[in-house]
Amino acid sequence: MNSSGLWRTGNIVDLFPEMQRLQRDMNRLFTGIPRAVGQENPAINVWSGENDYIVTAELAGIDPHKLDISVKGDGLTFSGNHGVEPLKEGETYHRQERASGRFSRTVQLPFQIDSEKVTAKYEKGVLRMTLPRLKSDKPRKISIKAE
Amino acid sequence: MDNKDMDTQKQPAGNTLETERTKTGKVFVPRVDIYETQDSIVLTADMPGVDEKAVDITLEKNVLTITGSVAVTGFEGHAMAYSEYDVGDFERAFTISDEVDRDKIEATVKNGVLRVILHKAEKVKARKIAITAA
């Protein structure tokens, strides 16, 4: 027999990541929620008001002074570093699940943002940005004349 | 770690204690790092929306349970337009060994991160053995 089958070529340990991936795909299939939707990092919630939008993101343990928020036109970008500190010598991880490294997210809003009036607040690990609509971009009310 | 490969969604909790909650609402498993130093085991958990008043840590027998309650709030005059994450309480339990000094557990919350320091009991602290060259 000349099959170059799985069991002949590969070590069984090599299959483990593949099985995990399969399991994840199966879970996704059966729960019906495409998890890929939220893959962007970090996840955001958006609230709309009459004159502004509020964007929130859960970013536990970051240094708010190193957070970078920029606004241009109708786009908002915020980026920074997750606050996981590297271990000192002699310390070892038992479990490591928290995000580390850099994050960056760009959001496009349905209006031009008044960049002068943007405010941001970081509290209890939640970032909240308030983005007012530019005055010149506000919708005009059109009155209808009855004949 | 490469962030692109990380699953950014919070994991919904199973019922960690096999009991029912009196409060309705969603519960999530916080992401946790646990590391060991020479004299302690340190647990850090991401619990955005939680402050020191809203966190609860219990040690019963050898099960350490951490819970954090998060108030689900909206913003006045605003409606949710788009949502990628859910807000809810956090809960997770760990089995800890006898090596931990039960009377010396410290916990702090800062910027939505809970940090629990479990000091190792005196008797299990590793003794440094000096090796001398022959």
Distance, in angstroms, between B53 CA and closest chain A CA?
A: 11
List, for residues A105-124, the tens digit of each pLDDT value: 999 999 999 999 999 999 99
When scoring A39, A51, A84, A97 by the number of chain B Cβ atoms within 10 A, the one with the most, hence best to mutate, is A97
Count how many domains chain B has: 1
B134 inside domain: no
List, for residues B62-105, the tens digit of each pLDDT value: 889 999 999 888 899 999 888 888 899 999 999 988 788 888 89
How many residues are there in chain B? 134
pLDDT band at A12 (very low <50, low <70, confident <90, very high): low
How big, in percent rounded to 5, are the helix, strand and coil portions of chain A? 25, 35, 40
Contact A90 B37 (CB under 8 A): yes
B15 inside domain: no
ipTM given for this complex: 0.76
Domain region containing B89 = 23-74+82-123
Q: Which residue bears the tokens 């809203």?
A: B54
B100 inside domain: yes
If you ran DSSP here, which 8-state letter would residue A113 be given? B
Rounded Cα distance, A128 and B49, in Å: 11
> At B103, which CATH number?
2.60.40.790
Q: Which residue bears the tokens 């609509």?
A: A133
pLDDT at A4: 41
Distance, in angstroms, between B41 CA and closest chain A CA?
A: 9
Mapped onto helix, strand or coil, the DSSP state of residue B100 is strand
Rounded to a whole number of angstroms, the CA Rg of chain B reads 19
Rounded Cα distance, A118 and A109, in Å: 13
CATH pick for A41-85+100-136 out of 3.50.30.50, 2.60.40.790, 2.30.110.10, 3.40.50.360: 2.60.40.790
If you ran DSSP here, which 8-state letter would residue B88 be given? -
